[in-house]
């Protein structure tokens, strides 16, 4: 994988997290042919005949779950564009799930998702920006994209990353056996039969598709922000969650999944879509550890990618040492301290930090809390929107990987040759590698030598 | 012609040190390209010697042997002339996996190579013990000037190729017994390691081993399984039309628990386990003691009994490489079916030797440190005659090219296994003796043994490495392929063109030939190309996209003078790797381990001039 400047790339160019207007940007030699495949203008102008920069109103068609999407297309077919390549912008409504679906559609038509900094590199090569500007962007990519990928994987929920690693591992093993059969034909080792191969390929395909499904369903009803409820067990997090959502008609879903290690509720707070994450469910199920240790462990992953934490304390009890430490660690824009059960409270138990006093019973303080949440979130410029396209990236890679495995099964069924199956599996691994890490030939050789006694 | 300056000083264009598989191909290649070449060996009777198994080819190695031949090398013709058994391995798999392998008459092979070397114009073969390498310039800008041989004899040349094999500081082990030497009965080379150290090269040590050889007269073959050669043996060289040769069989037998028990009891006396040898050996060629220890649940290990020639009774026992003491070797042989009364003629041994980690080389196999100095073969941490020969050929060609300051001859990973081999060596280095496997080649569907001439002969011919005979041979074949493909496109069967019809997995050439009689006259070397091209076409088309991208990256050359410190945003790890490896192109840079796409983007931004 590298930055091939002759590929046609696409990315979401609008501000992340549900801006009013959504913008998709494309650049590369195939821009026109790709748009011809998925865009129809209101007037019948043929895109390929367009030389001058222009804007065309029309629709993107064939977008999953959405069908036709009205949009405005801005097209530069000549080197006058920012990248000096044919370039287009599609302006449409700023809904993240819809933009993701549009991205997938455009990729189906032959574009590739842009890597971080790729537009910048092209703009530099086009002489539009200077080296210092280009370096400033390119220099921080690795750190940022690692963080993004990690966030995306966590957000796509517990279990997915583990399952992906398992699939990758299974395919690597399978490939090692196939490669051993190809490279070490004279060795006295038993090679895999066609039937066994089919069984394992099918398994790998099903598993990849299952993960793909999970990513798809989890990625879709996505809120703009992620708010995590934290605190020791029984401080009243769940009641607070219910109180916040019950009063509000905007509940989207409330599920307790087997593969999820947390409960989420999606709600709208003063016009901001957000996912409220309660970590209580699982923490009660883990015995033998102190409740605080458990709470700490379970929520760590969630905290890592939360836009905001609500740290809940029971106002009828004095603070534990752990609670004091945690409150000190909260930063102003990433965390709020919420005191619960204020209806049972007789005196001020706590002072110093800014505390929002609430009661899930009397609903006291909930409006203040909502307003504080909204204020804290609006000051957040990044949001989880960055993850949206990382999600599409995972999705795209998984889809291609599943396709490659499916093709390898056809090759196997027709006995067209193990070297072709291996070629497909290599392609599948490369796609999975984009999501969970890269492999080298040596990985496969290592597996061969640890499994088989090779040595003619 | 050799120019004698005085009695003890000679001048050449290229000096090659060592006349094994790398050295002979290197000297032949440079001489074919018109350079005046001196090939120096410590022993004229071991030119082209097969130190280990008496065979050429095998999976991936067979493809390399064919590539060497397609570029005009000697290996293919030598084995065709002296092979005693020919087999096409993997022939039930797809064409990319077909791999020729031949047992050689070891002595005859060596004599054939020596004959080819002796008959080559511009090539001067001489027995000399090279003890030092002569350089000029300071540590930052060293240039090779020649070599110094024992007796204060100087061979001056602007290009020197070292192909010293396993002879640098070599130590052989058989049980507790240790002796200095790179091959049984021979000495080791001491001076060159010192010279390399002085020039600033890193040296490391590897280990390899060899099995005992038996007297065939004392083997009971009735207790073993026969392994005959192919009925229609396929030649290695594209110039050999057909092989008419009486073939000898090989034989298969197995070890058993008695053998394994004996080895376990004597492990403390095995140099690999007693601590006497500390260096790394290859995992794909383990000693029998390694096999028994690492795969203790395996009840038997397969052994091949391979005759070493027509005029000798000596038999090579493939699969039982060992450095156990002699008395243990004697005993364990007797537990093996068929070998109960076998006599060992030479004992197995392990050999430790110096090599120069190959990340110190450029892709032309010239060292980064000393201009004009090239390394090829086992000195680069590889194993195998084919791997050695391939490097020799490329080093020889590039040494000749440096004489006129011409562009180096570098094969890409999609063009040849040789390209994969050298790129792996110089870009990633080695952590065990390097052997080729087909799985190392990401474009192996293209790198077939049957199309080596179509991939490489033209490239070799362009620089004068490959002769006109091979070139004309290829031209005729290509013309015939084009004509045949046109026939397939012009004729139809069941409503589709014959080409499409041939894409069906079950379709065979004979079926087409029945339908269109003209096809019957097409020679098999041509029809084979047409069939293979068509059958793989879908996969090749997909790979072509990748290949085209890599070529575009390979065209983006990184200037030698680049200062990585000036790329201010580059990660420290990337900066260090780039400095060490000194990649020549973005494509090579992108294959260095630990390098990310963003690193490449930064590098690209620095070497490319923005358009205005």
Which contiguous run of DSSP H or E holds residue A374? helix A366-378
Confidence check: pLDDT of A257 > 60 = no
Question: pLDDT at position A287, please?
Answer: 41
CA distance to A345, B501, B509, per residue, from B504 (Å): 81, 6, 11
CATH number at residue B76: 3.50.50.60
Q: Which of these, B409, B330, B329, B372, lies nearest to B584 by C-alpha position?
A: B409
Q: Which of A117, A139, A161 is the last residue of a domain?
A: A139
Q: Which of these, A40, A235, A267, A260, lies nearest to A158 by C-alpha position?
A: A260
- Asked, for residue A4, whether it belongs to a domain, the answer is no
Claim to verify: residue A162 and residue A291 sit in the same structural domain = no
* B54-72 mean pLDDT: 97
Which contiguous run of DSSP H or E holds residue A120? helix A118-125
> Which of A404, A417, A445, A450 would best serve as a mutation to test chain B binding (most B beta carbons within 10 A)?
A417
Confidence band of A233 (pLDDT split at 50, 70, 90): confident
Q: What is the ipTM for the molecules in this complex?
A: 0.89
Strand pairing report for A335-340 and A355-357: parallel
Q: What are A435's two structure tokens?
A: 């999501």
* B79-105 mean pLDDT: 95
- Asked, for residue A146, whether it belongs to a domain, the answer is no
Claim to verify: residue B94 and residue B75 sit in the same structural domain = yes
Question: pLDDT at position A322, please?
Answer: 80
Percent of chain B with pLDDT over 70: 99
Higher per-residue confidence, B128 vs A23: B128
Comparing A378-392, B116-130, B171-185, B564-578, the range with the smallest average pLDDT is A378-392
CATH number at residue A66: 3.30.1360.120
Q: CB–CB of B610/A125 below 8 Å?
A: yes
Claim to verify: residue B263 and residue B294 sit in the same structural domain = yes
Where in the sequence is the domain holding A424, given as residue range(s)?
152-218+386-451
Comparing A44-53, A54-63, A112-121, B386-395, the range with the smallest average pLDDT is A44-53
CATH number at residue B258: 2.40.30.260
Confidence check: pLDDT of A249 > 80 = no
- Asked, for residue A47, whether it belongs to a domain, the answer is yes
B162 Cβ under 8 Å from any chain A Cβ: no
CA angle B418, B424, B430 (to 5 degrees): 125
CA distance A237 to A226: 16
Q: In chain A, positions 97-116, which contact chain B (CB-CB < 8 Å)?
A: 115-116
Where in the sequence is the domain holding B171, given as residue range(s)?
3-207+354-462
Question: pLDDT at position B335, please?
Answer: 97
CATH number at residue A231: 3.40.50.300
Claim to verify: residue A247 and residue A362 sit in the same structural domain = yes
Confidence band of A255 (pLDDT split at 50, 70, 90): very low
Confidence check: pLDDT of A320 > 60 = yes
- DSSP string covering B51-112, please? -S-SEEE-TTHHHHHHHHHHTT-SHHHHHHHHEEEEEEETTTS-GGG-EEEEEE-HHHHHHH
Higher per-residue confidence, B272 vs B126: B126
CA distance B156 to B135: 10
A190 Cβ under 8 Å from any chain B Cβ: no
CA distance A321 to B430: 54
CA distance B357 to B352: 15
Confidence check: pLDDT of B253 > 60 = yes
Q: How many CB atoms are located within 10 Å of the residue A441 CB?
A: 17
| Beta-bridge partners for A269 | A272
- Asked, for residue B285, whether it belongs to a domain, the answer is yes
Question: pLDDT at position A144, please?
Answer: 66
Question: pLDDT at position B134, please?
Answer: 95
Claim to verify: residue A76 and residue A60 sit in the same structural domain = yes
Q: Which of these, A278, A281, A250, A279, lies nearest to A266 by C-alpha position?
A: A250
Claim to verify: residue A446 and residue A358 sit in the same structural domain = no
CA distance B75 to B113: 8
Q: Which of A93, A115, A139 is the last residue of a domain?
A: A139
A2 Cβ under 8 Å from any chain B Cβ: yes
Confidence check: pLDDT of A384 > 50 = no
| Beta-bridge partners for A345 | none
CA distance to B359, B414, B576, per residue, from B579 (Å): 11, 26, 5
Claim to verify: residue B200 and residue B286 sit in the same structural domain = no
Confidence check: pLDDT of A301 > 70 = no
Tell how far CA B537 is from the center of its chain.
Answer: 28
CA distance B261 to B109: 38
Confidence check: pLDDT of B423 > 90 = yes
B316 DSSP 8-state letter? E
Confidence check: pLDDT of B167 > 70 = yes
Rg, Å, chain A Cα set: 26
CA distance B391 to B420: 11
Claim to verify: residue B29 and residue B136 sit in the same structural domain = yes
* B104-115 mean pLDDT: 98
Q: In chain B, positions 429-468, which contact chain A (CB-CB < 8 Å)?
A: 437-440, 442, 444-445
- Asked, for residue A3, whether it belongs to a domain, the answer is no
Q: Express each pLDDT in A103-160 by its tens digit.
A: 889 988 999 888 878 888 888 888 888 887 787 777 777 766 666 666 666 655 455 6
Claim to verify: residue B484 and residue B566 sit in the same structural domain = no
Claim to verify: residue B166 and residue B241 sit in the same structural domain = no
Question: pLDDT at position A115, please?
Answer: 80
Rounded to the nearest 10 degrees, the angle between the axes of helix B385-403 and helix B417-428 is 80
- Asked, for residue A144, whether it belongs to a domain, the answer is no
Claim to verify: residue A302 and residue A322 sit in the same structural domain = yes
CA distance A383 to A297: 24
Q: CB–CB of B598/A138 below 8 Å?
A: yes
Query: What is the total count of domains within chain B?
Result: 4
Claim to verify: residue A42 and residue A78 sit in the same structural domain = yes
Claim to verify: residue B456 and residue B371 sit in the same structural domain = yes
Q: Which of B419, B435, B462 is the last residue of a domain?
A: B462
B569 Cβ under 8 Å from any chain A Cβ: yes
Question: pLDDT at position A285, please?
Answer: 37
Claim to verify: residue B303 and residue B368 sit in the same structural domain = no
Confidence check: pLDDT of A333 > 80 = no
Higher per-residue confidence, A381 vs B320: B320
Claim to verify: residue A341 and residue A261 sit in the same structural domain = yes
CATH number at residue B592: 1.10.150.570
Burial of B255 by CB count in 10 Å (0-12 exposed, 13-18 middle, 19+ buried)?
Answer: buried
Among B286, B304, B605, the residue with its CB nearest the CB of A134 is B605
Q: Which of B300, B331, B350 is the last residue of a domain?
A: B350
Confidence band of A258 (pLDDT split at 50, 70, 90): very low
CA distance A25 to A14: 9
Comparing A24-28, A92-96, B590-594, the range with the smallest average pLDDT is A92-96
Structure-token match 């000393």, residue found: B370
- Positive or negative: CA dihedral B151, B157, B160, B165: negative
Q: Which residues contact B264 (CB under 8 A, 6 or more apart)?
A: B292, B293
B431: closest chain A residue by CA: A442
Q: Which of these, A420, A404, A387, lies nearest to A168 by C-alpha position?
A: A404
Beta-carbon pairs below 8 A across chains A and B: 152
Higher per-residue confidence, B383 vs A443: B383
- Asked, for residue A115, whether it belongs to a domain, the answer is yes
CA distance B245 to B588: 44
Question: pLDDT at position A253, please?
Answer: 36
Question: pLDDT at position B189, please?
Answer: 78
Claim to verify: residue A272 and residue A401 sit in the same structural domain = no
Comparing A430-439, B92-101, B197-206, the range with the smallest average pLDDT is A430-439
Q: Which residues contact B451 (CB under 8 A, 6 or more apart)?
A: B529, B532
Which contiguous run of DSSP H or E holds residue B328? helix B326-334
CA distance B413 to B216: 43
CA distance B236 to B253: 28
Q: What are A68's two structure tokens?
A: 């036709």
* A206-230 mean pLDDT: 73
CA angle B572, B573, B579 (to 5 degrees): 90
- What is the b/e burial string over B151-164, where b = at least 16 CB atoms within 10 angstroms of the residue's CB? eebbbbbbbbbbbb
Claim to verify: residue B396 and residue B473 sit in the same structural domain = no
Claim to verify: residue A171 and residue A273 sit in the same structural domain = no
Percent of chain A with pLDDT over 90: 17
Q: What is the mean pLDDT of chain A?
A: 76
| Beta-bridge partners for A237 | none
Tell how far CA A48 is from the center of its chain.
Answer: 35
Question: pLDDT at position A221, please?
Answer: 42
HSE-up of residue A274 (Cα within 13 Å, Cβ side): 28
Confidence check: pLDDT of B353 > 90 = yes
Claim to verify: residue A198 and residue A346 sit in the same structural domain = no
* B48-67 mean pLDDT: 96
Query: What is the total count of domains within chain A?
Result: 3
Q: Express each pLDDT in B441-462 by its tens digit.
A: 999 999 999 999 999 999 999 9
Confidence check: pLDDT of A251 > 50 = no
Q: Which of A343, A359, A383 is the last residue of a domain?
A: A383
- Asked, for residue A147, whether it belongs to a domain, the answer is no
Q: Which of B350, B377, B398 is the last residue of a domain?
A: B350
Claim to verify: residue B81 and residue B228 sit in the same structural domain = no
CA distance to A19, A169, A216, B406, B440, per residue, from A443 (Å): 44, 11, 30, 38, 11
- What is the b/e burial string over A18-37, where b = at least 16 CB atoms within 10 angstroms of the residue's CB? bbeebbbbbbbebbbebbee
Q: Which of these, B278, B383, B343, B465, lies nearest to B60 by C-alpha position?
A: B383
CA distance A281 to A278: 7
Q: CB–CB of B464/B32 below 8 Å?
A: yes
Q: What is the mean pLDDT of chain B?
A: 93
Q: What are B151's two structure tokens?
A: 């007796």
A414 Cβ under 8 Å from any chain B Cβ: yes
B571 Cβ under 8 Å from any chain A Cβ: yes
Residues on chain A touching B421 (C-beta within 8 angstroms): none
User: Among the residues of B251-301, which ranges form H helices?
Assistant: 257-265, 271-274, 288-294
CATH number at residue A188: 1.20.120.430
Question: pLDDT at position A269, please?
Answer: 67
User: Among the residues of B536-585, which ranges form H helices?
Assistant: 537-555, 572-581
CA distance A136 to A3: 17
Claim to verify: residue B261 and residue B323 sit in the same structural domain = yes
Q: Which residues contact A132 (CB under 8 A, 6 or more apart)?
A: none
- Asked, for residue B166, whether it belongs to a domain, the answer is yes
Among A117, A416, A427, the residue with its CB nearest the CB of B601 is A117
Confidence check: pLDDT of B2 > 50 = no
Comparing A135-149, A254-268, B160-174, the range with the smallest average pLDDT is A254-268
Q: CB–CB of A147/A421 below 8 Å?
A: no
- Asked, for residue B537, whether it belongs to a domain, the answer is no
Claim to verify: residue B253 and residue B395 sit in the same structural domain = no
- Asked, for residue A336, whether it belongs to a domain, the answer is yes
Instruction: Give the gap in angstroms from C-alpha B282 to the nearest C-alpha of chain A.
Output: 9
Structure-token match 């039969």, residue found: A193
> Which of B598, B603, B612 would best serve as a mutation to test chain A binding (most A beta carbons within 10 A)?
B598
User: Among the residues of B131-277, which ranges form H helices?
Assistant: 191-199, 257-265, 271-274
Question: pLDDT at position A254, please?
Answer: 38
Claim to verify: residue A194 and residue A60 sit in the same structural domain = no
Confidence band of A283 (pLDDT split at 50, 70, 90): very low
Q: Express each pLDDT in B212-225 by its tens digit.
A: 999 999 999 999 99
- Most confident region among A177-191, A224-238, B55-69, B132-146 by mean pLDDT: B55-69
Confidence check: pLDDT of A199 > 60 = yes
Claim to verify: residue A158 and residue A300 sit in the same structural domain = no
CA distance to B26, B142, B159, B467, per residue, from B404 (Å): 17, 19, 12, 20
> Which of B58, B417, B439, B596 would best serve as a mutation to test chain A binding (most A beta carbons within 10 A)?
B439
Confidence check: pLDDT of B489 > 60 = yes
Question: pLDDT at position A385, please?
Answer: 38
CA distance A1 to B14: 40
* B112-132 mean pLDDT: 97
């Amino acid at each position: 994988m590298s930055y091939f400047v002759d590929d046609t790339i696409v990315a979401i160019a609008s501000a992340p997290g549900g801006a009013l207007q959504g913008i998709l940007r494309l650049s590369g030699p195939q821009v026109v042919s790709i748009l011809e495949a998925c865009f129809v203008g209101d007037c019948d102008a043929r895109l390929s005949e367009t030389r001058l920069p222009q804007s065309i109103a029309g629709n993107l068609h064939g977008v999953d779950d959405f069908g036709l999407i009205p949009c405005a297309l801005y097209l530069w077919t000549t080197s006058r564009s920012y990248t000096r390549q044919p370039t287009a912008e599609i302006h449409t409504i700023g809904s993240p799930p819809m933009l993701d679906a549009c991205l997938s559609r455009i990729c189906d038509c032959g574009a590739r998702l842009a890597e971080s900094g790729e537009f910048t590199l092209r703009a530099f090569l086009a002489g539009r920006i200077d080296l210092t500007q280009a370096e400033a962007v390119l220099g921080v990519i690795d750190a940022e994209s690692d963080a993004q990928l990690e966030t995306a994987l966590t957000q796509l929920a517990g279990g997915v990353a583990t399952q992906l690693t398992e699939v990758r591992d299974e395919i690597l093993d399978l490939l090692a056996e196939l490669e051993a059969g190809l490279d070490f034909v004279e060795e006295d080792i038993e090679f895999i039969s066609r039937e066994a191969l089919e069984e394992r390929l099918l398994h790998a395909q099903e598993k990849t598709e299952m993960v793909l499904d999970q990513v798809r369903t989890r990625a879709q009803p996505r809120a703009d922000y992620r708010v995590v409820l934290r605190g020791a067990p029984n401080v009243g997090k769940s009641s607070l969650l219910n109180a916040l959502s019950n009063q509000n008609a905007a509940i989207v879903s409330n599920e307790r999944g087997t593969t999820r290690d947390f409960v989420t509720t999606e709600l709208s707070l003063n016009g901001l879509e957000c996912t409220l994450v309660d970590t209580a469910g699982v923490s009660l199920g883990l015995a033998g550890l102190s409740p605080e240790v458990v709470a700490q462990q379970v929520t760590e992953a969630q905290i890592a990618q939360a836009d905001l934490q609500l740290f809940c304390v029971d106002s009828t009890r004095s603070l534990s040492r752990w609670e004091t430490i945690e409150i000190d660690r909260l930063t102003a824009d990433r965390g709020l301290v919420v005191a619960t059960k204020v209806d049972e409270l007789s005196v001020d138990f706590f002072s110093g930090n800014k505390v929002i006093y609430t009661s899930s019973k009397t609903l006291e303080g909930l409006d203040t809390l909502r307003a504080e949440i909204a204020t804290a979130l609006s000051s957040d410029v990044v949001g989880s929107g960055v993850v949206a396209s990382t999600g599409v990236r995972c999705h795209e890679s998984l889809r291609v990987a599943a396709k490659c495995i499916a093709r390898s099964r056809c090759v196997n069924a027709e006995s067209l040759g193990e070297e072709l199956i291996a070629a497909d599996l290599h392609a599948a691994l490369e796609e999975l590698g984009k999501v969970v890490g890269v492999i080298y030939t040596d990985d496969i050789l290592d597996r061969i030598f640890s499994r088989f006694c090779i040595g003619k | 012609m050799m120019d004698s300056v005085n009695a003890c000083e000679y001048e050449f264009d290229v000096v090659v040190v060592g006349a094994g598989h790398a050295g002979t191909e290197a000297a032949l290649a440079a001489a074919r390209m018109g350079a005046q070449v001196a090939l120096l060996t410590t022993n004229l009777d071991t030119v082209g010697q097969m130190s280990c198994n008496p065979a050429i080819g095998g999976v991936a190695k067979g493809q390399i042997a064919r590539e060497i031949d397609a570029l005009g090398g000697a290996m293919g013709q030598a084995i065709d002339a002296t092979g005693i058994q020919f087999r096409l391995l993997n022939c039930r798999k797809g064409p990319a996996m077909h791999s020729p392998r031949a047992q050689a008459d070891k002595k005859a092979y060596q004599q054939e190579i020596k004959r080819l070397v002796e008959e080559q114009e511009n090539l001067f073969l001489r027995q000399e013990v090279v003890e030092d390498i002569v350089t000029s310039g300071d540590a930052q800008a060293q240039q090779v000037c020649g070599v110094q041989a024992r007796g204060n004899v100087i061979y001056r040349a602007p290009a020197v190729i070292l192909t010293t094999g396993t002879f640098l500081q070599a130590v052989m082990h058989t049980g507790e017994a240790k002796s200095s030497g790179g091959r049984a009965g021979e000495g080791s080379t001491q001076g060159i390691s010192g010279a390399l150290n002085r020039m600033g090269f890193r040296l490391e040590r590897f280990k390899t081993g060899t099995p005992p050889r038996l007297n065939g007269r004392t083997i009971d073959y009735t207790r073993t399984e026969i392994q005959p050669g192919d009925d229609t043996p396929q030649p290695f060289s594209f110039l050999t039309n057909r092989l008419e040769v009486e073939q000898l069989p090989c034989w298969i037998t197995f070890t058993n628990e008695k053998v394994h028990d004996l080895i376990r009891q004597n492990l403390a006396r095995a140099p690999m386990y007693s601590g006497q040898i500390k260096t790394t050996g290859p995992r794909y060629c383990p000693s029998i003691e390694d096999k028994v220890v690492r795969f203790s649940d395996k009840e038997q290990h397969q052994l091949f009994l391979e005759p070493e020639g027509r005029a000798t009774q000596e038999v090579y026992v493939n699969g039982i490489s060992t450095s156990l003491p002699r008395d243990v070797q004697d005993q364990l042989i007797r537990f093996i079916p068929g070998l109960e009364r076998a006599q060992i003629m030479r004992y197995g041994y392990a050999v430790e030797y110096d090599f120069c980690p190959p990340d110190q080389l450029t892709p032309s196999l010239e060292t980064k440190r000393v201009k004009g100095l090239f390394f090829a073969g086992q000195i680069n941490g590889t194993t195998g005659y084919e791997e050695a020969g391939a490097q020799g050929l490329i080093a020889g060609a590039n040494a000749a090219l440096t004489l006129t300051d011409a562009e180096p001859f570098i094969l890409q990973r999609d063009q040849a296994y040789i390209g994969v081999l050298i790129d792996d060596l110089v870009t990633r280095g080695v952590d065990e003796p390097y052997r080729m496997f087909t799985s190392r080649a990401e474009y192996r569907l293209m790198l077939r043994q049957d199309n080596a001439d179509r991939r490489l002969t033209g490239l070799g011919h362009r620089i004068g490495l490959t002769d006109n005979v091979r070139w004309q041979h290829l031209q005729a074949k290509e013309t015939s392929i084009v004509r045949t493909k046109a026939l397939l496109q012009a004729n139809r069967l069941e409503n589709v063109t014959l080409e499409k019809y041939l894409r069906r997995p079950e379709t065979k050439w004979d079926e087409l030939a029945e339908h269109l009689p003209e096809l019957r006259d097409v020679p098999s070397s041509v029809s084979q190309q047409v069939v293979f091209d068509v059958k793989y076409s879908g996969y090749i088309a997909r790979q072509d996209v990748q290949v085209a991208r890599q070529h575009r990256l390979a065209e983006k050359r990184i200037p030698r003078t680049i200062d990585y410190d000036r790329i201010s945003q580059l990660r420290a790890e990337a900066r260090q790797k780039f400095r060490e490896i000194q990649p020549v192109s973005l494509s090579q840079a992108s294959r260095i381990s630990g390098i990310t796409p963003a690193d490449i983007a930064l590098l690209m931004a620095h070497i490319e001039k923005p358009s205005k």
